[in-house]
Amino acid sequence: MANVSNISQLIGNTPLVKLQHIVPEQSAAVLVKLESRNPGGSIKDRIGLAMILAAEKSGILKAGGTIVEPTSGNTGIALAMIAAARGYRCVLVMPETMSVERRQLLALYGAEIVLTPGGEGMKGAIGKAREIVEQSGAFMPQQFENPANPEIHRQTTAQEIWSATGGQIDAFVCGVGTGGTITGVADVIKARNPKFLAIAVEPLESPVISGGTHSPHKIQGIGAGFVPKNLDVDLLDAIELVSSQEAFAMRVRLIREEGLMVGISSGASVHAALRVAEQLGAGKTVVTVIHDTGERYLSMS
C-alpha cells in the first residue's frame, strides 16, 4: 500500500464483497460495498471531506473556523475526524437517542456535542444547529441539501461500483439518510444502463418517502423523518420498507453468518437487498451498502 500524506487520502476505493451464506440459491448475487473500510468507519467520510473541501474552495470556511452540523452520528464522526486533521473547531447536534459509542467517538476527536430531544428526530437537531449558526456565524455543511453530497457519490461511489462490477449491475439498494448516496449512484448508472433499478430503503415505522408519516424508529442513520432535498425521488424505481426488528435481526445474521461487523442501517439495506435479489432471480446482480461498522452500536444490541 502506498504511503499517504493525510488521512483524507484513505477515503474511498472500498471493496465489494459477495455474500456467501445468507443469499438463497435461486436469488440474484448480492454484493455489499464495505464503506466501513473508510478511515472514519462509514460512508459519510466521503461527504464530510467533500463538503469541507467545497467550503474551503468557496471561501466560506477559513483557517481556524468552526463547523456546526446536525447529524445522527456518522457524518459527525467524519466531520470531526477531518476537522481534527485540518484544524477546525467542530460542534455537532444530534438526537439524544443516538448510541453512546457514537458520542464517545465524537468526543475523542475533540468535537463538542449538543443533544436534542429524541422525539423531535433530525428535525429537532437541524433547528438547534441553525440556531447555533445564527448566533455564532459558523459554517454549517447542511448534508441534507449540500450539492457536494450527491456529487461526490457521482464522482467516486458510482464509478467504483461500475468498475468493480464491470458494469454488470442490475439493482442498487440503499438506505436513505440524506439521499446523497442513492441519488449520486443512480444518476450515473441509469445513464449507462437504462434497465438498472434504484431502490431506496426506509424504516417501516417511518415511511415518509413512501408518503406516510414519521414515527420513532431504531434504525440509526436512515429515516430522518422528512424527504431530504438531496434525494432525487424521480430516480427511484421502488422503495422497500424494513422494520427496526428486521434490521437488527439481519445485522446479527451478517455478523454471525458472513463475518461482517456491521451497523443497524446496513442490516436494513441488506434485508431489502435480499428481497430484491429474490425477485430478480439467479443470474442478476444486486449491490447494496455496508454503511458503517458495527462496534459503535454494541450498547444497543
Match 455564532 to its residue by C-alpha cell.
136
Distance, CA of 205 to CA of 192 (rounded, Å): 34
User: Of all residues in the chain, what percent are helix, strand and coil, respectively (each to 5)?
Assistant: 45, 20, 35
Annotated catalytic residue: which of 44, 72, 128, 284?
44
Number of Cβ atoms within 10 Å of the Cβ of 254: 24
Site of grid cell 439495506: 269
Q: Are 32 and 270 in contact (CB under 8 A)?
A: yes
Amino acid code (one letter) for 131: E
Single out the catalytic residue among 265, 266, 269, 284: 265
Query: Exposure string (b/e) for 291-300, b if CB count within 10 Å is 16 or more?
Result: bbbbebbeeb
Beta-sheet pairing, 285-290 with 171-175: parallel
CB of 175 within 8 A of CB of 251?
no
Annotation marks residue 44 as catalytic: yes
Active site residue 244: no
Q: What is the dihedral of CA 57, 59, 63, 65, to 10 degrees?
A: -120
Active site residues: 44, 265
